[in-house]
Structure 1
Amino acid sequence: MVTTFEIRLPTSLAGFAPDQTFYSASAGWLKVRSGCDGWRDGDAITVPDYVFDRAHQVDDELAYRIGAGCAIEREKGGPEAGGVVMLLESPHRDEYDGQSGIAIGPLRNKESRDYLERYLPSLLKVAEGRLGRSLEGLGVNLVNAVQYQTSLQALMTDYGGRLQDGVRTRVWKTIFASGGDGDMLARLDRYDPGIVLAAPTKVVWNAIRREFDGHSRRWPWLRVDSHPSCWKRRVPKIEGRLHPATVRS
């Protein structure tokens, strides 16, 4: 018999959405810790407030500076206006200081970061060709479409276990559809990037693409065909054409 779980999210703490309740039949919810020290009571999951508090919001950050020939040098700071945005998806486990620990920053998995640094220069060269101008001197900002741990890995009985796709995808889409989309666009508009390289996973890309298509953008974008966590298995590529800004700066 399939169990339908009720999931309650305190998303009002994020500041852009009311609290949300949704239902899911994914077996991944059975991985959420139950009992007196857990968050699952039978088929009801009450996500704790701390998942959406300020200390657990993974801030966007400047990570690299583009040099000659699209070589990159590591740099660290707050997001830099006018630069390149590498748009990711949402933080998972390595972006936090341990289970229920505070946020550290975006894309902290060492293997994913190593592959990002290997392939980002070639992606930037393609972006330069599509834009018809140099990106030398610009910063590269790492930006999550949703800044909270939609995988809810901190609530799992096996914190070091694999990501539960049925949990992550439903939570991500619920947040995005209830105000997270507007929050993402507001941040991108504030950074006013020279180019957005959109590299989320395919399961959430259509939702992001709809927002890009419906938004009056001062910034152009290109689609990278996979998230950096997949770049170990295949070399990333720019997919499709350049989508130019739809309004003048």
Structure 2
Amino acid sequence: ERAKKASLHNKKLRDCRIHLDSMKNDRRLETTLFITEGDSASGSITKSRDVNTQAVFSLRGKPLNSYGMSKKIVYENEEFNLLQAALNIEDSIENLRYNNIVIATDADVDGMHIRLLLITFFLQFFPELIKENHLYILQTPLFRVRDKKQTIYCYSEEEKRNGIARLSGKPEITRFKGLGEISPDEFKHFIGDDIRLEPVMMDKAMSIEELLKFYMGKNTPDRQGFIIDNLRVELDLVAE
């Protein structure tokens, strides 16, 4: 009953016109659902998206860590229930409504945590989506460097250095802290023809249960050791 109500009125979803099951439409494989955090990010994407093939689902905040929970939680948790209804995957992924499911979160610690929680949800309940290459992470620029003639968007420190070298004088450098800071006019470049998507992939030999237990289970000494051994600090380089 909850699922039926969710599919009738999905307040989190800004839908598109074409879907993966639109068999006669040659753009069906372009269909994409962006999962965003908060209204500011979803607002920019909603205003700049292609309404024919791109839909937006807006999360309220950090989703639940669903590791170890039964599928009952998908129906009891409103956001998971609405997300499942938006994708139309309650029974199987045969009727999946979008070819690409794209997690679009800020490039900060909170954004990465939300990515991890969403990937956990899909691995726990709908691993076929990942095995059949439907799940992606949206790459968005970290910096904008520009002078009076040219604007360059940079996705890493190296791209920023190269961008500064291409511009004249002392260019203006902007560090994007969140997707909400990117205007709709700019955002359309990052979800258009030049979109950068990183696929979420699984090692075929890896057990999903072991993977989730290690990263999302109780705080074990093994995971603490892994974090200490692999800890990396990245500093924003200040341009001279």
- Flag the structure with larger Rg: 2
Asked if TM exceeds 0.5, the reply is: no
Shorter-chain TM-score: which interval?
0.3 to 0.5
User: What TM-score do the two structures reach when normalised by structure 2?
Assistant: 0.36
Higher helix share: 2
